[in-house]
Amino acid sequence: MKLRVIARLLQIQRVLLKYGLHDFVRATHLYAPLRFLFYLSPDTWLNPHRRAPRAVRLRLALEELGPIFVKFGQALSTRRDLLPSDVAEELARLQDRVPPFPGSRARDLIEQAYGQSVSEAFSEFDETPLAAASIAQVHAARLPNGKEVVVKVLRPGVSDIIERDLEVLFALAELAQNYWREGRRLRPIEIVREYQKTIIDELDLMREAANASQLKRNFAGSDLLYVPEVYWDHCRIDVMVMERIRGIPISDMAKLRALGTDFRLLAENGVRIFFTQVFRHNFFHADMHPGNIFVIVDDPARPRYAAVDFGIVGTLDPRDQHYLAENFLAVFDRDYRRVAQLHVESGWVPAGTRVDEIESAVRTVCEPIFDRPLEDISFANLLVRLFEISRRFNVELQPQLILLQKTLVNVEGLGRELYPQLDVWHTAAPILREWMRERMSLRQILRNVRAQMPELIEAARVLPAVLKGALQKAEGGMLRMLVETPAVDLLHAELRRGHRRRDAVIVGAAALLGGIVWLALGRAAWPGWTLTGLGAGWLLLVYRLF
């Protein structure tokens, strides 16, 4: 393990102890014995926040630990049903109230990116940030043409911090994969690798601007979601400029209620937006915590969502998309056997798993939650039960679906806050059924064939030459068929290990025998040679045999 990783793990323990979060240090077990050394640090005892409420201390610790930990707190904050109320309230402050860096520093960064002064780029620029998050902060400004905009600026040094913490995550994942019983099934290294791609993408604001443009195009003409306009001439890798929207934060329930907002429609539209993005567009906003969602209430009877912060978006492989839609519809229809079959067909469970056993297990989990409002469903218990089933059937975690699962959890958490009686199944099923009908329609099939026609024509063009070459090789006895056989490959690997072990045993035995012969003949000029031969022989024999 790298020295930098060990130093960071020690720093994490120090920060937890600094804020009096001793239970977390004991729970992690990492370097727990060294916590007594931190007790000697004045920083641990003189911290003015040491006597603050538990929730405040937890938030402050996450803020001090940096972007990755802040994002973890943001994700937790959307699940008020899983957290004590004081912790949920405090973690919600991480959504857009992370301590900002100085506005003068933001001005310097913008000028470095533009190669000109801020006063030349904008007619107005407010150094007091509108909001500050873990990776960037936002300032209000006005373009020379008078349009109100927001300017998003990356935090200075954030790339180095994230790179260091990713090393820590990879080190922990490697330990989990090698030494944790569930490591191989849960694939922690692949999970961290997926997260690495996601958070690295967040550091490129040009990519975020492109995401925003795509999402705006997808919902053009829709009354479900409004996406602000991007001003490309003012966008750089570390600076982005977008239209400023005037909406009410979705977390401001009191103000929305006072305006007479239709919460039921708002909650249902949230579900519609999610399923439309995932299945119809195959491009979804994957960071839908309350700090990134506003509500436009020009007409309280028809409220409209407005989204910001497009650094994290997700897409699905068409195969995963198909299986997910089929799974959702099978659950909606209570066709548990189909759910089981889909898991086997998709390869998410080991080959040979009995379909009837999976069917029975899924029925046991899903049946109790039907025909009940969201407020009566314990998704915490449901997740625990599903995890138990996945462990029982050795279901491999699908890293490519993590963003989707995270977004679905956020959407469900928002729905619970807005309208606890929301019927998720009733709202989502029509969207999925329509998508499946369109996907299997003759028009869509013809459209797919037309899109693939250039590849088909090219394949038909080169096919005669390929067949001719294969026939010539066959006539000359040079045709070989390469077949992937995992079992045979495993056998070959075991044979190679056996050969290496045999060779090592021979060498070790020779060294051992040589030492014995020298000892018997009494010809060793220096006893060290004899001892070396004996020691090397024994070491090689013991190492290779055991």
In whole angstroms, what is the distance from residue 201 CA to residue 415 CA?
28
In whole angstroms, what is the distance from residue 353 CA to residue 140 CA?
57
Question: Which entry of 204, 287, 333, 489 is annotated as an active-site residue?
Answer: 287
Give the distance from CA 191 to its chain's centroid: 7
In whole angstroms, what is the distance from residue 405 CA to residue 175 CA?
25
DSSP-assigned letter for residue 95 = T
Handedness of CA 232, 236, 240, 241 (dihedral sign): negative
In whole angstroms, what is the distance from residue 442 CA to residue 445 CA?
5
CB atoms within 10 A of CB 231: 17
Task: Report in angstroms the alpha-carbon separations of 221 from 209, 226, 271, 343, 435.
Answer: 20, 9, 18, 37, 19
**Greatest CA separation found in the chain?**
104
Q: Using only C-alpha atoms, what is the Rg of the chain?
A: 30
Q: Hey, which residues does 132 pair with through a beta bridge?
A: 97, 137
Helix ranges (H only) for 95-247 are 103-114, 118-121, 158-179, 183-186, 188-202, 205-218
User: Is 223 one of the catalytic residues?
Assistant: no
Give the distance from CA 532 to its chain's centroid: 53
In whole angstroms, what is the distance from residue 303 CA to residue 252 CA?
14
Q: Hey, which residues does 217 pair with through a beta bridge?
A: none
Q: Which two tokens stand for residue 1?
A: 């393990």
DSSP-assigned letter for residue 478 = -
DSSP-assigned letter for residue 230 = B
User: Which amino acids are annotated catalytic?
Assistant: 287
